[in-house]
Structure 1
Amino acid sequence: MRQTRKYLQTSNITRTTIRRLRVIPSYFFLIWRWSMWLYALIVIIFTHSSYVNTASIPYSSIAVILLSITFLETLFVTLYAPVIQILFPRPLTTAATRSLKQAQLLERVLTEEEETEILPPFMQTRNHYWNIAIYSMDVIICGIVMYYSGPFSNPPFGLGSPFYRYGMSTVFAAAAVFRYPGGLLAALGYDLFALFGMFVHAPGARSYVPNAVDIVGSLIDTPIVAILVAYLANLLENHARSKYHERENARTQAALVSIGEALLKSTGDRQELLQRSSKPIQRGRFERLRITLIDLAIPEDEIQATALQSFEQQQITTCVEALSPSTQFPDISQTLAQKVLASGQKLVSFEASDDQQSGIARMYIPLRKDDHVQIVLGAESRRLAPFNAQHEKFLTIAGTQLLVALDNIRLAEQTIQLAADAERGRIAREIHDGIAQLTYMLSLQAETCEAQAQRISEASEEDAELITPLTERLSKLVVISKQALWETRNYMFSLKPLMRGTTTLTQMLNNQLREFEAISDLPTSLEIAGSPALYGEQYLHSRHYAQIGTSLFRIVQEALTNAYKHAHATQLTVHLRYQSDRIEVDICDDGRGLPPFLLQNEPARVETQPHILSGHGIGGMRERATELGGDFSVLAQASGGTIVRVSIPL
């Protein structure tokens, strides 16, 4: 009893107008049925006790049987009534215990206000035919009781029965659930029993002369009750819906305000933005919320082609989830999000449970911008019915706010990137017009001085001994100046964006080798196997392919620098191979080779020898390859020299 009282004190069942309106017909039905049963009991007790049965069955025996049947029926209906199950979550009978899950689910439905329909007087299943059978059976039982109790009074049918008003409650119940059609059909069925008793009297009936008052009174009451109850039920439901929409709009506005506050607090990080906004969207509405952000840099055709593969492998999405503590149903949200991403259409499903009383409702909505899916919002909850248009509207509004915030982040990043590119371009131009030109002039002057000193040394044997040291120093100065010029050109390439516009990887490497050959005077060649055309036009314009091209360009740049500065090579060859699943590049030289520990790929010892290579050296090249899932190795050629090999998968 204490537990029930505590539950009633903490319950929200009767705290809102909507909930009160929804349960009014159910309360009236139970009050009516019990009141009319007591009325029948009083009438039977205080009426005459003469025997009226032709089969010598006493009047009191028939009364006891009918009272017992109606009492058990009323008790059964009461224990299984949704209102009673909500008020008393610990049923007092074993029979009601079997419907505990349904009661708990109905309780949660009322608390969350998922539906606004009038609460049914009887228990209901998800099978429409079962519901019709339950209410039809109640009509039949009430009609039979009315028929056999007719002889207790005058007239011996219809309103003469003490159970006549008791049986009218079945018309009340049918009209509350099925409205006008159900109520009028129940009234017609109930009147048929009255007509049957009029023409075929029940056993024990006295002689009776029919009159219009009794006939009309026995047939007109139930249709009027059906019409009135159906009308009132419609009014209550419409009013409840109106209140529900008002409250839902206020709730939606409050949630959107919370989402807006979360968006304002974001620091420009997409992951943080999704994490902050997921809780306000999920709270109080969904048990599971999944937000899938599509990588905007990849074309939609390519996303849909790879959507059925792992998001993590393709690196095309950022996903966050918000869960309620009580969430215990299977998680298939990633699979459903992939399906929606591939089809571009919303997905609304309802998976019924074993007891057919509840189910898992799911809704996944793709949100587009510029005809491309950018966000997939997925919501899941255990409910009595699928998600409705109100939930879809809320998810769409919340998702639109997210899209605006994400677009602001993207525009801010683009602004920063454009400013950085402009500044890097300015620095590159300054280097080209300043340091690069001066270094180039220094290189030319050093070469001229070296050639002049060489001619003087060859023309005069007397001065050769004095000029030779100067010639050697000038030769070293020429080498150093060319190295400085190459380093300067490398910095310029590092500052400028590489693969942009119609520039291809082949063109980039070819231009790089031509410039390297012009500066270093080392013969270089580019050998190409395969063609990038086999990857498709969409992929050639994707961000992933641009990342591969940039990494390969930097690795070749580093390898050429190392070969020029340290290998003493006389010739270099770059092999570029386009394969179906990867791109491979070999940078080959005929120099003196590298120490054994470098060829054995020992990173720890490489770090202790920074003077061997420029920049980040082998460590930097390896990092560039592994960041894209590729392989990097340094091999020795049988004929002498070194092969730097890099392979990056598509």
Structure 2
Amino acid sequence: MGQSGKFFRASNVPRATLRRLRVIPSYFFLVWRWSMWLYALIVIVFSHPSYVDTNNINYGSMAAFLLIITFIETLIVTLYAPVLQILFPRLLTTASRQTREQEQLRHQQTDEEGEAELLPPFAQTRNHYWNIAIYGMDVIICGLVMYYSGPFSNPPFGLGSPFYRYGMSTVFAAASAFRYQGGLLAALGYDLFALLGMVIHAPGSTSYTPNAVDIVGSLVDTPIVAILVAYLSNLLENYARSKRQERENARTQAALVHIGETLLKSTGDRNELLQRSIGPIQRGRFDRLTIALIEFSYDDEHPIKLPLHLAPMLTCTETIVPTDQLPDRSSQLIQKVLRTKQKLLTFESLEGKNQGIARLYLLLRKDDHVQLVLGAESLRMTPFKAQHEKFLTIAGTQLLVALDNIRLAEQTVQLAADAERGRIAREIHDGIAQLTYMLSLQAETCEAQAQRIIEASEEDAELLIPLAERLGKMVTISKQALWETRNYMFSLKPLMSGTTTLTQMLGNQLSEFQAISDLPTQLHVEGADDIYDEPRRHSRRYAQIGTTFFRIVQEALTNAYKHAGATRLDVFIRYQPNRIEVDICDDGHGFSIHGAQDSQPPNEEPHILSGHGIRGMQERTTELGGQFAILPQPTGGTIVRASIPL
């Protein structure tokens, strides 16, 4: 390729300009303006052999000046920056590089988002007043050229000017950019210069009496052109809008299908679901995407009414732009939208660049509760539009459905497990527990009958005393078996459900223990659970605390019954503003706390324990951030104390 070919390569011209020269109506504007300029050149060159009149006015110089002015103006308004770039490539190397980068960004944005293909004839800025000034200046220049070129023909104004049709292209441009209002205003301004030529002839014009044909021809053409061009531009815009909508719908459907396929392949893990779905939602649309899942601990009927910006959340972010170009403020913006409970749509212009940072953060609700926040950020020339918000809303709704399916699956598994546990508990109650209870009754009856025989006959006493002792041990063992069987039943059943309170649950537990063991038990309550607000009493943590206290009391009662030799048990429950404390006290023989904990081998439990023992009770307490201790009573016996914060 020759040097001139390299000089005028298309790559030297920004893509937006090339597209502007190809699309309608810019293409027609280009053809019209250049054709009419050539027409004016031909009329001036071949219709006026003499260019100096009796008043020593050099029409040749004036014609050359007007031709040069209109030529430069035509270059600027049709090619503007590319003309200087082609003519002075070395002088404008840095500027051209920046221009190429900006135009590439604009082209990429246009291709990805399907934005307007009907570009206006002139360059557009973000300032509406600057755009009006550009088109207004073109009207003034074309009007003045028409006015001063009047002496070249007859009549010396309006349609008599060789630049009359050239100047009508300014009405074409205004009607294309601003439709009817802009086109008619430009036509009015252009006609004012024609009227000026009628009233005050341009320098060098001969006296002329206007007639109706010349006046109408000079004033009617431009409004008609404005109306026709505005009408055609509206038709083309509507057609382009429908094509853009089709393309956008196709892109959205393809993206949503991809997102749906990704969600279908997801597992039951929420974190993995968010990680796998963030890519398909972001692809081809956003430079950074953030998904924040609000993880409330609440029951379906009683959500915790915490401030949203303080709620725990699971956040996933993916970005394709370095943070030095697109700073990461997603955490602060998420907290902001959670505080205000409103979407965030902003555009931050970057100084010295023809682009800015567009941000869009949406709140997605389910049952009037915010459950998901979607945040999108991109380096763009314009803010995000309604189509982006619509896409994020649809994608986020799909994601919410998938998350809800995970929750429902977990609930289904939990309900199935609870149903099976309930079935096993019923089987134990109707089978082993009943048989154990009957065995205990029979052993007690046999023991009582043996005691009566011993008291009635001294001869048989010596033989029956060992039998009575064995029967007494059998009674004790059967009661212990019945108690442990009942404990297994309670372990299988859900504890705090419905309207059951912690006080009621422990009261029922102690009543059943007393009925089985014949040991006097009493529940002492200090305060009441109504000091806590309703959301806290119905929270999942409160239910976990109740379950933990039930298991600890269960273990402590079993140990006291089997090993402590206690004759009485007292359970104290204290409701404090920020915690709940439970003490299980017995009057047994007690034990050495130091010896029980330190003298035993590391892998062995103290001898007074059953089941998981001290270690199990302590682990249950510490898992919820509480404190556990075993203390001796001054009067003998042991205190098992558990304190758990709310």
TM-score by length of structure 2 reads 0.81
Query: Retained in 2: the 8 A contact 1:82–1:120?
Result: no
Task: Give the partner amino acid of 1:223.
Answer: P
Query: Retained in 2: the 8 A contact 1:350–1:385?
Result: no
Q: Distance in 2 between matches of 1:138 and 1:618?
A: 92
Query: Retained in 2: the 8 A contact 1:105–1:358?
Result: no
Q: Secondary structure at the match of 2:309?
A: coil
**1:70-149 pair list within 5 angstroms:** 70-78=70-78, 103-116=103-116, 118-149=118-149
Greater CA drift, 613-622 or 2-11: 2-11
> In the alignment, which residue of structure 2 is the partner of 1:578?
575
Quick one: which of 406, 412, 416 aligns to 2:413? Answer: 416
Q: Distance in 1 between matches of 2:67 and 2:340?
A: 62
> In the alignment, which residue of structure 1 is the partner of 2:481?
484
Residue segments in structure 1 that go unaligned for 5+ positions in a row: 313-317
Quick one: which of 435, 438, 459 aligns to 1:438? Answer: 435
Cα pair distance change 1:301/1:452, threshold 3 Å: closer
Q: Distance in 2 between matches of 1:649 and 1:74?
A: 80
1:163-207 per-residue CA deviation (whole Å, 9 max, x = no partner) reads: 434433332222122111011111211221222233223334444
Query: Retained in 2: the 8 A contact 1:13–1:111?
Result: no
Query: Retained in 1: the 8 A contact 2:586–2:637?
Result: yes
Q: Distance in 2 between matches of 1:329 and 1:268?
A: 33
Q: Distance in 2 between matches of 1:6 and 1:645?
A: 85
Cα pair distance change 1:352/1:158, threshold 3 Å: farther
1:128-151 per-residue CA deviation (whole Å, 9 max, x = no partner) reads: 233223322332233333333444
Greater CA drift, 534-543 or 330-339: 330-339
Q: Distance in 1 between matches of 2:52 and 2:601?
A: 115
Q: Secondary structure at the match of 1:251?
A: helix
> In the alignment, which residue of structure 2 is the partner of 1:498?
495
Which structure has the larger Rg? 2
Task: Give the partner amino acid of 2:223.
Answer: P
Q: Distance in 1 between matches of 2:431 and 2:173?
A: 94
> In the alignment, which residue of structure 2 is the partner of 1:315?
none
Q: CA deviation at 1:423?
A: 1.8
Residue segments in structure 2 that go unaligned for 5+ positions in a row: none
**1:250-649 pair list within 5 angstroms:** 250-287=250-287, 288-290=289-291, 292=293, 295=296, 297-298=298-299, 302=303, 305-312=306-313, 318-324=314-320, 329-333=326-330, 347=343, 349-354=345-350, 358-369=356-367, 373-447=370-444, 476-591=473-588, 592-593=590-591, 595-596=593-594, 607-609=603-605, 613-628=609-624, 630-637=625-632, 639=634, 641-649=637-645
1:269-319 per-residue CA deviation (whole Å, 9 max, x = no partner) reads: 44444444443333333442526366594458845543121324xxxxx54
Query: Retained in 2: the 8 A contact 1:82–1:121?
Result: no
Q: CA deviation at 1:452?
A: 6.5
Q: Distance in 2 between matches of 1:126 and 1:256?
A: 33
1:367-421 per-residue CA deviation (whole Å, 9 max, x = no partner) reads: 435x555555444444455544444444444444445444444444444333322
Q: Distance in 2 between matches of 1:202 and 1:104?
A: 47
Q: CA deviation at 1:366?
A: 2.4
Query: Retained in 2: the 8 A contact 1:341–1:366?
Result: no
Cα pair distance change 1:474/1:480, threshold 3 Å: same
Task: Give the partner amino acid of 2:621.
Answer: A
Q: CA deviation at 1:435?
A: 1.7
Cα pair distance change 1:578/1:398, threshold 3 Å: same
Task: Give the partner amino acid of 1:366.
Answer: L
Greater CA drift, 498-507 or 114-123: 114-123
Q: Distance in 1 between matches of 2:369 and 2:12?
A: 51
Task: Give the partner amino acid of 1:130.
Answer: W
Q: How many residues align?
A: 632
Q: Distance in 1 between matches of 2:111 and 2:83?
A: 13
Q: CA deviation at 1:590?
A: 4.7
TM-score by length of structure 1 reads 0.81
Q: Distance in 1 between matches of 2:214 and 2:331?
A: 68
1:25-55 per-residue CA deviation (whole Å, 9 max, x = no partner) reads: 234434544554555556556654634696x
Query: Retained in 2: the 8 A contact 1:82–1:119?
Result: no
Q: CA deviation at 1:259?
A: 3.0
Q: Distance in 2 between matches of 1:12 and 1:204?
A: 43
Task: Give the partner amino acid of 2:631.
Answer: A
Cα pair distance change 1:136/1:286, threshold 3 Å: same
Identity percentage over the alignment? 68
